[in-house]
Copies of this chain bind each other. A is one copy, B any other.
């Protein structure tokens, strides 16, 4: 048989090799030739593995997000209070650890708005479901323990999208949003409202 490369694997390698480039430069400034050179492949080869630059960004976000989620799940075990567990979810938006991923995620969202492709939609939907279930489980536990009012369950979707919304808004405005502080403040105020003991 002829040469057989693991296409899936090579995709990942190419994407990873371009990480710094993709994080540092705006995608529009990056040329395919530059990408190929960075990954140490020919320009034509790039097209064997990706349809365009967006797919490359997408692959990388996918890759890093998976790793990120794994780390987060580990951390979740360490969190004690319900409030802390929920805040852990939002920390993606400001923690130093995830800053590269955030830069890429931002570009990914932009593309998803500009020229959505099914794979992107599927990915975003899966992300939503993943985090929704996460938060749902935490809230359910809180309700079961009698800590939280049952109405807390109805707030999950809004709370989730609030995070993304504040993230986007903080990137597109200047001086009106302090992401970490505003996110945590909102969560605290909501918790104050749905914790039974405060009633």
Contacts and interface: CB of A to CB of B under 8 A. Distances in A.
Interface in A87-121: 106-107, 109-116, 120-121
Interface stretch (A16-24, A36-44, A66-74, A172-180): A172-180
Given A162-B158, A186-B155, A172 B26 contact: no
A190 to B, nearest CB: 7
A196 interface: no
Given A122-B174, A158-B182, A185-B154, A128 B169 contact: yes
Interface residues of A, number: 53
B116 A151 contact: no
Contacts of A15: none
Given A26-B115, A122-B174, A193-B194, 6 more contacts: A121-B173, A125-B173, A155-B189, A158-B182, A158-B185, A193-B193
